[in-house]
Amino acid sequence: MSLSSIDPVIWFFLFGLFAGVMKSELRLPSQIYELVSMLLLLTIGLKGGIELARQPFGVLLPQIAVIVAMGFLLPFIIFPVLRYVGKFNRPDSASIAAHYGSVSVGTFAVAVAYMNTRNIVFEEHMALFVVLLEIPAILIGIILSKGMSKDTQWSKVMNEVMLGRGVMLLVGGLLIGWVSGPTGVESISPLFFDLFKGILALFLLEMGLITATQLSSLKKYGLFLFAFGILTPIVFSIIGIIVGTSLNLSTGGTAILATLFASASYIAVPAAMRISVPEANPTLSLSASLGITFPFNIIIGIPIYYAFSQYAHNLL
């Protein structure tokens, strides 16, 4: 692999990481970061929505059902590992399980960019899966931490999750893309689609800076968390490959689904867990999802998952 084969957006991430580790003054103004992440979420939603407009929704229902079921299932797979191998207390195990059961939009965006650069086709409606996978893990995380306890205010939790910025923007983009269709969206495509890679580069620059702040806390939690942060995405990606091929997704689509399964949330879930499972230590889950899994996925993971997907599709 030559250096120029690495996507420039990844260099932006590494640049941010380097600047952060060196304690540079560099940072994206927080309003700009908010705008950039907003544009990313809307773009991803719009792309998915346009694709939804192209096909009858009923065809997707089986896929949707499987994806939602996986969203509920994934946290259960890792919870016992965290609890009994990692020896974390119950709230911490539940919170980390929720982070890894949910998805990272940033990782998804990098996977989309990876496929686009290589002209690999994938099902653009995968953006819908991002929304579907974001939420179930949060509910499971809360249940794992305190059971179906009466003092969980479920309506409040759902309110926070559904009305949170990430879900709102994704769903909003999906709906606008859906009702406008491919030709309708053309007038706004310069901002959302043509600038996608540039926006992603800025976003990853800030992500690099943020990741650098997690590295110091990582040292405290040691080897288990490090191994967990790398092995979980690999195992989950394999589950994603199996699910993707059984759903007859394309090679690119399967790789993206694997990436979604492999990714861990660092925006929606931390906020939801902080509110609903306040006993859990937020530094623990964030240093794993952001300090280890996010960089692993975008730098090494995505090419591996694509290779897995090619291998699986060749077997069939």
Where along the sequence are the contacts to another protein (CB under 8 A)? 27-28, 30, 33, 160, 206, 209-210, 213, 266-267, 270-271, 274-275, 278-279, 282-283, 286
Please say which residue, 2 or 30, places its beta carbon nearer to another protein. Answer: 30
* Least distance (Å) between residue 3 CB and another protein: 29
Please say which residue, 105 or 257, places its beta carbon nearer to another protein. Answer: 105
* Least distance (Å) between residue 274 CB and another protein: 4
Please say which residue, 27 or 313, places its beta carbon nearer to another protein. Answer: 27
Please say which residue, 180 or 281, places its beta carbon nearer to another protein. Answer: 281
* Least distance (Å) between residue 150 CB and another protein: 17
* Least distance (Å) between residue 256 CB and another protein: 25
Please say which residue, 34 or 194, places its beta carbon nearer to another protein. Answer: 34
* Least distance (Å) between residue 258 CB and another protein: 26
Please say which residue, 81 or 290, places its beta carbon nearer to another protein. Answer: 290
**CB-based contacts of 109, cutoff 8 Å, min separation 6:** 40, 44, 200, 203
* Least distance (Å) between residue 209 CB and another protein: 7
* Least distance (Å) between residue 100 CB and another protein: 16
**CB-based contacts of 289, cutoff 8 Å, min separation 6:** 96, 99, 100, 104, 229, 264, 265, 266
Please say which residue, 185 or 202, places its beta carbon nearer to another protein. Answer: 202
DSSP, residue by residue, the chain: --GGGS-HHHHHHHHHHHHHHTT-S----HHHHHHHHHHHHHHHHHHHHHHHHHS-HHHHHHHHHHHHHHHHHHHHHHHHIIIIIS---HHHHHHHHHHHHS--HHHHHHHHHHHHHTT----TTHHHHHHHHHTHHHHHHHHHHH-S-TTS-HHHHHHHHHHSHHHHHHHHHHHHHHHHHHHHGGGGHIIIIITHHHHHHHHHHHHHHHHHHHHHHHHHHHHHHHHHHHHHHHHHHHHHHHHHHHTT--HHHHHHHHHHHH---SSHHHHHHHHH-TTS-HHHHHIIIIIIIHHIIIIIIHHHHHHHHHHHHHH-
Are the beta carbons of 12 and 299 closer than 8 angstroms?
A: no
Please say which residue, 164 or 181, places its beta carbon nearer to another protein. Answer: 164
* Least distance (Å) between residue 141 CB and another protein: 15
